[in-house]
């Protein structure tokens, strides 16, 4: 059984419970950078957990990093913890130095690498760059003559164009035009594939974490909200919907953990990993859609108010569904993989995951 370090998880859970309040998340959505929260995360080394201790990181396992992503989704963390985690992982894998401070990654919406321009520069539009206003560096896939490379840009390389929904104040469309601080060409495999698979697996964990939170929040609310003289949890239709929500949260959790397990066991280039990650992103996306709808049905009008925290997770669930490709694209690619592998190989692949 692959498990994360319980000490790391307990430390992060307590830190986020103490410093990631509803007011902090609302302020971040309005563009206020939660400096204290970010400094605490950097002080614990959690934002650089996947970097070796020799390189100044936490030296954590892959399982630890995925668990960090799940907790970031559970607490609706309004800083680029998961993005910095992934960016540092890719930089370390490419043999590049990892800068301090918050980082973001691109592409997240779609999978097109940043095109090359003249004089060693790269120029293009990136939709919904996570934490575009607050990140100090961006790790991007770029188009090279040899294939898709990986590049590190500092904040001067992009300009924010417009705020994107549904995560106002966090994601934004940007225009890149600049030379990278560091760049690496095609190594073993395609850097675009590495970013896509790791990003999809991490977003699946974040969706699983957010779903677990809205399940608990909806259950608690149903037990305290009264209608016609009794708690609404006593009504069969509410019980039925909560049971469906619990099933969706469990399915997303299991699929996300299976994707994590295959990445750890088989690496990123094995077709079994692609199958597991694609399945996780599809299943977590479906659960996000159904789960968010049920949570808002249970809460009624209060669930749509800014003061109530339900929207902190549901808005992010809607955004994360499309990050690193939506379900329909993964489903098409998964179907193509199965066809390419052939019918005789399908069952052995499924049973080995």
Least confident segment among 2-6, 54-58, 139-143, 159-163: 159-163
Residues of the chain with CATH 1.20.140.10: 194-352
Residue 318: closest CA among 279, 277, 283, 287: 287
Query: What is the per-residue pLDDT across 175-214, written as a single tens digit (0 to 9) for each?
Result: 999 999 999 987 756 899 999 999 999 999 999 999 999 9
Under 8 Å between Cβ of 84 and 92: no
Neighbours of 230 (CB within 10 A): 9
**CB of 105 within 8 A of CB of 199?**
yes
Q: Among 51-55, 215-219, 244-248, 306-310, where is mean pLDDT lowest? A: 51-55
Percent of the chain with pLDDT over 70: 97
CA distance 241 to 247: 10
| Beta-carbon contacts of residue 2 (< 8 Å; ≥ 6 apart) | 63, 260, 261, 264
Structure tokens at 238: 């509410």
pLDDT for 248-291, tens place per residue?
Answer: 999 999 999 999 999 999 999 999 999 999 999 999 999 999 99
What pLDDT is stored for residue 188 in this prediction?
56
User: In this structure, which long-range contacts are made by residues 110-117, counting pairs with CB atoms below 8 Å and at least 24 apart in sequence?
Assistant: 110/325, 111/192, 111/196, 111/324, 111/325, 113/140, 113/141, 113/142, 113/143, 113/148, 113/149, 113/192, 114/140, 114/141, 114/142, 114/143, 114/151, 114/176, 115/142, 115/143, 116/142, 116/143, 116/144, 117/177
Q: Give the rounded percent of residues in the chain with a pLDDT score beyond 90.
A: 83
Q: What is the mean pLDDT of residues 217-223?
A: 97
**pLDDT value at 166 more than 50:** no
Q: Taking residues 298-303, report their average pLDDT.
A: 94
Q: Phi and psi at residue 300, in whole multiples of 5°?
A: 70, -145
| Confidence band for 350, pLDDT divided at 50, 70 and 90 | confident
Q: Is the pLDDT of residue 1 over 90?
A: no
Architecture of domain 194-352: Up-down Bundle (1.20)
State the span(s) of the chain assigned CATH 2.40.110.10: 6-184
Mean pLDDT rounded to a whole number for the chain: 93
Mean pLDDT score, 65-84: 98
Thinking of the domain 6-184, which architecture would CATH place it in? Beta Barrel (2.40)
Distance CA 23, CA 229 (A): 32
């Amino acid at each position: 059984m692959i498990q994360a370090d319980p000490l790391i998880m307990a430390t992060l859970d307590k830190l986020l419970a103490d410093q990631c309040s509803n007011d902090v998340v609302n302020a971040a959505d309005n563009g206020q950078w939660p400096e204290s929260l970010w400094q605490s995360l950097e002080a614990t080394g959690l934002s650089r957990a996947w970097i070796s201790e020799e390189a100044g990181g936490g030296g954590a396992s892959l399982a630890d990093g995925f668990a960090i992503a799940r907790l970031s989704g559970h607490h609706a963390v309004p800083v680029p913890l998961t993005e910095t985690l992934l960016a540092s992982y890719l930089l370390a894998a490419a043999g590049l130095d990892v800068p301090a401070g918050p980082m973001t990654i691109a592409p997240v919406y779609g999978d097109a690498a940043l095109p090359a321009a003249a004089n060693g520069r790269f120029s293009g539009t990136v939709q919904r760059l996570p934490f575009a206003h607050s990140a100090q560096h961006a790790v991007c896939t770029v188009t090279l003559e040899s294939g898709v490379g990986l590049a590190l840009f500092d904040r001067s390389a992009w300009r924010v164009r417009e705020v994107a929904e549904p995560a106002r104040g966090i994601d934004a469309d940007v225009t890149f035009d600049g030379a990278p601080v560091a760049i690496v060409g095609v190594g073993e495999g395609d850097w675009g594939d590495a970013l896509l698979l790791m990003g999809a697996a991490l977003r699946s964990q974040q969706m699983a974490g957010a779903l677990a939170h809205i399940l608990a929040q909806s259950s608690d609310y149903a037990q305290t909200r009264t209608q016609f003289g009794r708690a609404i949890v006593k009504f069969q239709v509410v019980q039925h919907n909560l049971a469906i929500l619990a099933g969706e949260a469990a399915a997303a959790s299991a699929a996300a953990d299976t994707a994590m397990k295959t990445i750890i066991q088989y690496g990123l280039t094995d077709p079994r990993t692609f199958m597991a990650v694609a399945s996780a992103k599809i299943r977590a996306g479906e659960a996000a859609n159904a789960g968010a709808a049920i949570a808002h049905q249970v809460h009624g009008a209060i669930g749509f108010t800014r003061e109530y925290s339900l929207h902190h997770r549901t808005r992010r669930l809607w955004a994360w569904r499309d990050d690193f490709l939506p379900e329909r694209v993964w489903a098409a690619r998964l179907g193509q993989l199965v066809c390419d592998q052939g019918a005789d190989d399908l069952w052995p692949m499924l049973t080995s995951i």
